[in-house]
Structure 1
Amino acid sequence: MTKNFYAVVLFLTASVSALAQLKSPSEFIPNYGKQISYYHQVEDYFKYLTENSALIKKQQYGLTNEQRDLNLYFISDAENLKNLEQIRLNNLASIGLSDSKSATAQDKIIVWLSFNVHGNEFAGTESAMTVAYELLNPTNEETKKWLKNTIVILDPCINPDGYSRYGNWLREISGKKNHPSLYDREHMEEWPGGRYNHYLFDLNRDWAWQTQAESQQRIKVYNQWMPQVHTDVHEMSYNSPYFFPPASRAFA
């Protein structure tokens, strides 16, 4: 009896300890930050997060033309995730798109984060894993406060086919040492490159026209939520940033 009791105590202690810790991307993925991650490694990491945290929930919203999963991850505190559907309806009711408002589920801010619409701007998907980790990190007291009043909808890769095309190419031509020169091979991507999807459409130009499978599937879920904040994460060339303050005119 005594041995069994101690075995149970040790098991529960180990389980609580495991839940109190999460592996960061650099602890989970070999060479994270030094080499592009494969798409299946990205999916494996988010699967690990959903299996080891009560603050994240997965929704697969579609498939790409090359049959890769398109996934969303809802990140908030556990109570909000339990009331996710009512929070969604409350948000729609606040803008006149639903009559199903409930006082039992308080209104929350909804923030949608989109990464890697251009497949070869791979820092987006890589950073999405770190963003998710920091939001879920049990030792991060600041993000715990945020998640009490916020639903984060995180799409780690809008363009998995382009991301995978670029990643496979980059790994094939990369050597043991990185070369910083702009004219080295790894900085001279061959056409069609990873920017585009399977049919070589620029998905960043398809938000309005909705001609591609990825866009059509994503906008259905987006319209079901109508977030207050949407962030579309890109990379920019170091010597050609395209930024202008709100008061300035954009050039065509």
Structure 2
Amino acid sequence: MTTNDRPHAAAHHAEQSLSGGNVSAGVVRIGDTVRRPAGPWTPAVHALLTHLHEAGFRAAPRPLGIDDQGREVLTFAPGQVVWPDRFALLEPRRRLAQVARLIRDFHDAVQTFTPPADARWQTLIPAEGADIIAHHDLAPWNLIAGDDAEWTIIDWDTAAPASRLWDVAYAVHGFIPLSADPTWQRTDAPDRLRLFADAYGLDEPERRRLVPLLSRRTRSMHDFLRDQAAQGHQPWSTLWAEGHGDTWRDDTEYIERREELWTRALLSG
């Protein structure tokens, strides 16, 4: 499909700009669709999303093609973005476990995905491993919370090869969260980490490999912003100037200082 198969159905709806996240310029809602700027990676991402739906994974937008302005068209996911104002939605243990299982379901579904021969991915940060096509930004700012059975992971533009644990390490940072910020820092972070690993289904060797990966994955975000800012690339330069790099650095140091704590949490019992 090269064009949206429902252009006339949405034509009478006005465009509504959608904010949220750090890179949302040009993202609009029209009726029950979302329109986003397309890129060279869009065909591969659409093939991935189509596969996920065919494999029974419904917690992702469904691609509807490209509209007459060259924008990708995706189904709109109703609900509330979890970060930052609705993070309390993840406070109950069952909700955090639900997120971990949702990520595991995605990783299981993508395992059988064969990328198109000409697939081009938007690879922003060099990844460790390449056993799946990972999301690369599994975080509460990309989770739409509707009903319990209708949560949706959005923003798949940076999907690219990586390991499962690379994706899990990033997700753990955001969903626990592993934060140096006193506003978000949690005394129950070890318990939440153990809960997440149990719900995802990590075995003991994976848990051991995850611990050092937590800080490496977090540091990769700091280094990416630093390097992009040094080259004057937007929107990364603005994010760096706003202090996002400092946040990722502080979180990295917070995680590194507590590696023994994370190891005990993951391997005890």
Structure with more contact order per residue of length (Cα contacts < 8 Å, sep ≥ 6): 1
